[in-house]
A and B are shown apart, each in its own frame.
Chain A
Amino acid sequence: MKKPNISLCFCLLFVSLALFSAESRAGEKVELVDLKTFMPMLQPQNDTLYIVNFWATWCSPCVKELPHFEKIGKEYAGRKVKVILVSLDFADELQQRVQPFVEKRKLQSDVMLLDPGRGGEWIDQVDSRWSGAIPATLFINGSTRLRAFHEKSFTYEELSALVQTYTGEQQ
């Protein structure tokens, strides 16, 4: 019997782990977060580009652009780009509506449901340019101090061009 190829074993292990984590994401529970948990996420200190998209299952332009964010997440997998989908559905509809939606569409990005509680002051804290309409997307990079905000829906091409710009990959 031949001596097992260690590097091949590691490689296989790695691939299976990667596949496993990609597969398992779809089964994950959508986390319910409040402002205390959520707001610090908008102050990252590392050099990852965070793409924070505010959406809701009832918001048709949001739902329409979700695949674009998913595609970006896949294209930049393993690189310093992270997509976070923040649902603004009503918190009491998490189990009935949001979780099944995420499972049915097999969303691979991180999904959370934000229950901001009373009042709208937090909207300014996310970005003063945000009127409160969704979809809205915030691009943050702690290292480069990038903080770009867009209150609009994107085509894939628009989103991809922005991500290229913000990751410094534009031609």
Chain B
Amino acid sequence: MMRLLTTGALVFLSFVVVMQAGYKVGDVAEDFTLKNVDGSMMSLADMDEAKGFIVIFSCNHCPYVVKYEDRMIELHNQFADMGYPVVAINSNDPEKVPEDSFDNMVARAKDKGFPFPYLFDATQQVAKDFGATRTPHVFLLQRSEDSKLKVAYIGAIDDSPKTAADVKDKYVAMAIGAIENNGTPDPEFTKAIGCTIKWRE
């Protein structure tokens, strides 16, 4: 009984922690320094001319990510020049998914010719700070007047993971369109099926 209570309390506590962690739309995102697939260390501050960032929690192995890889490249090609580059982050524990190791990230970035940085969140702290739970999971950041990066949109890239041809609403593109016109994204939050981020035990 005691054990059950303790387990229950632990489950409850971890649930509370999960519920509270992470950014909501409107929150200020903290910068981070992570290793890019080119071997350099990168922070968002390195691109201080950017008007914002399309931060995508991603990985190598997830079939939903694979379905979206070309669309991630398209997003970057369409919006980087406008001031919103894609920044992809892999936070998965490679002990759990060897396919998501840094070496494999380097290989994938090369194979696909990623035009955007693909960063390795080895400590998983960035995913925790953001409150990312799945891949792909997008956080659109917008630079405010005080130069802070505010979360403008959280969710999916668009409404059709399976086939790009069936997309009706391009959520991220719509959100950038809205903030570029001094509006607020609608929707500013969406959900989608994805792979869990593989947390270290």
Contact = CB atoms under 8 A, between A and B. Distances in A.
Please report whether the interface of chain B is mostly helix, strand, loop or mixed according to DSSP.
loop
A161 B1 CA distance: 11
Interface in A7-35: none
A132 B192 contact: yes
Given A88-B193, A120-B156, A133 B133 contact: yes
Interface residues of B, number: 27
Contact of B193 (A61, A120, A124, A161): A120
B162 interface: yes
Contacts of A90: 63, 162
A45 interface: no
Contacts of B134: 131-133
Contacts of A123: 191-193
B50 to A, nearest CB: 27
Contacts of B159: 118-120
Given A161-B7, A170-B4, A120 B192 contact: yes
Given A120-B190, A171-B4, 4 more contacts: A59-B196, A120-B156, A132-B191, A133-B194
16 contacts: A56-B63, A58-B62, A59-B196, A88-B193, A92-B162, A118-B160, A119-B159, A124-B191, A130-B191, A133-B134, A133-B197, A134-B193, A134-B196, A161-B4, A161-B7, A165-B8
